């Protein structure tokens, strides 16, 4: 017995080494990006035209399901004046206080109005996995419904809300915009743990030229990122799901700014593309297949630092995980006068 105990740590180390070696060699076997191909093997612009003309006879099979909105307000984009900028904020049930702080800060439409732009903020959610199985889930759903009754800014879809379904969340959000808010000019897809400078974001979209507008997708662009092959990684992608060394350039998912023509294009072709749960990476793959380069914005940061908020180019930063952190970050931007309630 003592011999087994002494040998066990060595055995564990050997297993870990074997797994690491396997992951390493799988990456060596990955295909060159020069031979890039990702399902479907069909021109995405052709798919877009076939969908728009309702020519179903030549369409490839849809690879992602169509989800239904369980909870939403039909008037979210119907009140005059119509919004030109939409903030689509990815959130989850339990983040009630975080959403409240966003409404009081960068999600407040008065911020955009101070620049002459009409905006709306909408929170995107799925449904709880055990929605009918536990008392806690029932209570959370009821609280969400009461929140919707009060603010009318929740859109809840019928997929299970999880990290693995993030792609479903942005796809459903874009489809919702195309259906309910087609007159918007720009959509900003955001995570609810981001601090946002709405006025600088609006300055950014105001600088978009007529030439850029039809194909405009912008964010903090990641270049030459490699797939994580370790099964222990949160971002694990197996070789059979993505057989290449690197990902195409992609705008990281916490802040992505998209023109309305691109929202319509992406939401139309994405369902016919092989599913990948890392939503921003899949967006980069789609852009690569479309021959469109995402625009890098220096003002979008991956980590929260106090010095960022004093930068004149600051647009957003990740890492504001609590309402108090968000409140403090918002206070540091000194936008209270521009964004105060009327």
pLDDT in tens, 71-88: 999 888 988 888 999 999
Determine, yes or no, domain membership for 196.
Answer: yes
Band the pLDDT of 28: cuts 50, 70, 90.
Answer: very low
* 333 close to 309: Cβ distance less than 8 angstroms: yes
Determine, yes or no, domain membership for 130.
Answer: yes
Determine, yes or no, domain membership for 115.
Answer: yes
For the sheet with 300-301, list strands across it. Answer: 194-196, 316-318, 300-301
Structural domain boundaries enclosing 325: 44-340
Question: DSSP label at 248?
Answer: P
Determine, yes or no, domain membership for 16.
Answer: no
Could you tell me where the beta strands, DSSP code E, fall in the chain?
Answer: 69-71, 85-90, 119-127, 154-160, 186-191, 194-196, 217-222, 250-259, 295-296, 300-301, 316-318
Question: DSSP label at 192?
Answer: T
Would you say residue 9 has pLDDT above 90?
no
154-160 and 119-127 beta bridge pairing: parallel
Q: Cα(first)–Cα(last) distance of the chain, in Å?
A: 75
The pLDDT assigned to 65 comes to 95
Over residues 142-164, the pLDDT tens digits come to 999 999 999 999 999 999 999 99
Query: Which percentage of the chain shows pLDDT scores above 70?
Result: 88
Total domains present in the chain? 1
Distances (CA, A) of 6 to 2, 13, 16, 17, 263: 6, 13, 17, 18, 59
For the residues 29-53, what does the mean pLDDT come to? 79
Determine, yes or no, domain membership for 7.
Answer: no
What is the four-CA torsion angle of 42, 43, 48, 54, rounded to 10 degrees?
-50
Question: For position 214, which CATH number holds?
Answer: 3.90.550.10
Instruction: For residues 157 and 144, give the distance between their C-alpha atoms in angstroms, rounded to a whole number.
Output: 13
* 217 close to 295: Cβ distance less than 8 angstroms: yes
Determine, yes or no, domain membership for 8.
Answer: no
Determine, yes or no, domain membership for 30.
Answer: no
* 102 close to 327: Cβ distance less than 8 angstroms: no
Query: Which of 164-178, 228-242, 291-305 has the largest mean confidence?
Result: 164-178
What is the four-CA torsion angle of 236, 241, 246, 250, rounded to 10 degrees?
-80
Q: Of the given ranges (70-74, 93-97, 262-266), which has the lowest mean pLDDT? A: 70-74
């Amino acid at each position: 017995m003592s011999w087994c105990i002494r040998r066990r740590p060595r055995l564990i180390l050997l297993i870990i080494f074997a797994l690491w070696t396997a992951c390493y060699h799988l990456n060596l076997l990955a295909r060159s990006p020069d031979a890039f191909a990702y399902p479907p093997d069909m021109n995405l612009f052709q798919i877009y035209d076939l969908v728009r003309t309702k020519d179903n006879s030549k369409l490839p099979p849809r690879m992602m399901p169509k989800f239904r909105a369980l909870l939403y307000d039909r008037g979210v984009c119907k009140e005059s004046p119509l919004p030109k900028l939409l903030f689509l904020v990815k959130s989850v049930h339990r983040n009630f206080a975080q959403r409240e702080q966003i409404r009081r800060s960068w999600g407040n439409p008065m911020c955009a109005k101070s620049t002459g732009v009409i905006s709306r903020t909408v929170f995107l959610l799925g449904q709880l996995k055990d929605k009918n199985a536990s008392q806690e889930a029932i209570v959370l759903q009821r609280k969400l419904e009461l929140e919707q009754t009060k603010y009318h800014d929740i859109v809840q879809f019928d997929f299970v809300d999880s990290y693995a379904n993030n792609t479903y969340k942005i796809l459903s959000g874009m489809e919702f915009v195309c259906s309910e808010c087609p007159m918007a000019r720009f959509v900003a897809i955001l995570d609810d743990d981001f601090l946002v400078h709405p006025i600088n974001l609006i300055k950014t979209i105001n600088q978009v030229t007529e030439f850029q507008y039809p194909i405009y997708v912008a964010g903090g662009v990641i270049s030459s990122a490699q797939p994580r092959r370790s099964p222990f990684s949160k971002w694990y992608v197996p070789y059979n799901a993505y057989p290449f060394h690197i990902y195409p350039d992609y705008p990281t998912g916490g802040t992505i700014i998209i023109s309305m023509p691109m929202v319509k294009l992406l939401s139309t072709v994405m369902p016919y593309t092989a599913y990948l749960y890392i939503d921003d990476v899949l967006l980069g793959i789609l852009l690569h297949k479309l021959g469109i380069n995402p625009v890098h914005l220096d003002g979008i940061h991956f980590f929260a630092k106090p010095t960022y908020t004093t930068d004149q180019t600051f647009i957003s930063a990740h890492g504001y995980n609590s309402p108090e952190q968000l409140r403090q970050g918002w206070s540091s931007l000194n936008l209270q006068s521009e964004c105060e309630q009327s």
